[in-house]
Amino acid sequence: MDLLLILTYGAFCVFIFKVFKIPLNKWTVPTAVLGGVVLIASLLLIMNYNHPYSRFGREYFVTIPITPAVRGLVISVDVLPNTPVKEGDVLFRIDPTPFQAVVDRKKAALIAAKQDVPQLGATWEAAKANVARATADRDRTKSAYSRYEQGHRKGGANSPFTDLELDNRRQMYLSSEAQLTAAQADELKARLAYESNVDGVNTQVVALEADLASAMYDLEHTIVRAPADGMVTQMALRPGTMAVPMPLRPVMTFIPDEERYFAGAFWQNSILRLKVGDEAEVVLDAAPGQVFSGKVAKILPAMAEGEIQTNGTLLSATQLYQSGRVIVIIDIDDDAIRKQFPAGVQGQVAVYSEHFHHISVMRKVLLRMKGWLNYLFFDGH
C-alpha cells in the first residue's frame, strides 16, 4: 500500500510537470521529491495510526473431527463429500455383528437374573423354614436334656439315668444348637441376597441392565451420524477401513454450517486507536475489485507468542524475539463471503477509527486499488 501511494504521487507529479510545463532543474525536482517525502510520510503516519491496515487477513471456520466411538470395520460410507447434510444424517456404518452379539448375550443374562429373583425369595422362605425346624429340634433336645439332668441330680445314686445317657442327651442338645446356628446363618445369607436392591431392583439385575445399556450404546454408535448441519470435505474414508476410536486419528472432517470469522493481524501499536464497533472493510484475493464492509467485533485479549504452559522445557530467549501481531475479528455485514467463496479465503482488511475521519477516504481508495491489483497478482502479497 505504501508503494501504491508513492506511485500515485509520482504520477501526479509527472502530470503537473507535463501540463504546466515546469522545467526540470535543481530546484523543481528536489522540491517535488522533498514535498513527496513530507506529504507521503505524514499521510502514512496519520493513516497507520488512525486507520490501520493489515495485509494478513483470513476467514476462519470451526471443524469437527469425526472419530467413531467404537472400533470396527467400515461396511458403508453413506455421505457424499462436499454435499450438505442435516444433523442426524448417516455418515458411515461400522459392522454391527460383534456388537449385536454382545447385546444378545447381555439380554439373555438379564432375563436369567430377573428369573433368579423369585428363586432368591423361595430360597429365603426355605431358609426360614429350616430355622423354624432347627429351633424346634433345639427346643426338643434341650427339654429332654433338662429332664435327664434334673432326674439324675434328684435321684443321686438311685437315679434311673446313667451318666452316659445324660452325656448323650447333652451332646444331642449341643448338636441341635449348632444346627440352629447354621440354619440362622443360611437364613441371613438368603435374606441379604433377596433384599440386596437398588431403588427396589435387585443389584444383580441393576448391574446387568447397566451392562446391557453399555452394549446397546456401542451398537447404536456403529452408525455414525452428522453432529450438526454441514458437510464433509476431502473425504478419504472407504468401506473396508478399520475405524479406531483414537482422538488424534479422525476418519473424516466435518464442517458445521455455522458462523465464520474473518480475522486480521495488525501491528501491536494499531490497537491504540482500535475499538469494538469501528468501521472496517475487507478485500479478498479471490474477489478482485469487490469490497466487503463490516465492523470490528472483537480484539482478542491474548497473543500466542506470549503463551507458556507447564512442562519440563525451559523458556528459550529466541521466543522473546518474536514480535507477534494483534488479532482483530471482523464481523462482515452480509453473508456474501460465505455464499460465494470457499471457507478460509484470504484478503486484506482496513479499520477506520473516528479520528481524522476525512483521511479515511484515502485509505479506502488505496484499499480499493489494492483490490484491483488482484486481477493481476492473485497472491495479493
Task: Give CA–CA dist 14/48, Å, rounded.
Answer: 26
Mean pLDDT of 198-213: 81
Task: Give CA–CA dist 62/230, Å, rounded.
Answer: 11
Phi, psi torsion values for 322, nearest 5 degrees: -80, 120
Listed residue (262, 308, 285, 243) closest to 370, CA to CA: 285
Q: Mind listing the pLDDT tens digit for each residue in 143-189? A: 877 877 777 676 666 666 666 777 787 888 788 888 888 888 888 87
b/e sequence 264-299, b meaning 16+ C-beta within 10 Å:
bbbeeebeebbeeebbbbbbbbbbbebebebebbeb
Mean pLDDT of 345-350: 92
Class of domain 51-62+258-307+320-373: mainly beta
Look at residue 63 and give its three-state secondary structure: coil
Structure confidence at residue 42 as a pLDDT band (50, 70, 90): confident
64-95+222-256: CATH, from 2.60.40.10, 2.40.50.100, 3.40.50.880, 3.40.640.10: 2.40.50.100
pTM above 0.75, yes or no: no
Listed residue (6, 55, 58) closest to 267, CA to CA: 55
Q: Do the bridges between strand 252-256 and strand 223-225 make them parallel or antiparallel, or are there none, so unpaired?
A: unpaired
> Who wins on pLDDT, 165 or 111?
111
- Is the pLDDT assigned to residue 203 strictly greater than 80? no
pLDDT for res 247: 81
Mean pLDDT of 79-91: 94
The residues spanned by each domain of the chain are 51-62+258-307+320-373, 64-95+222-256, 117-201
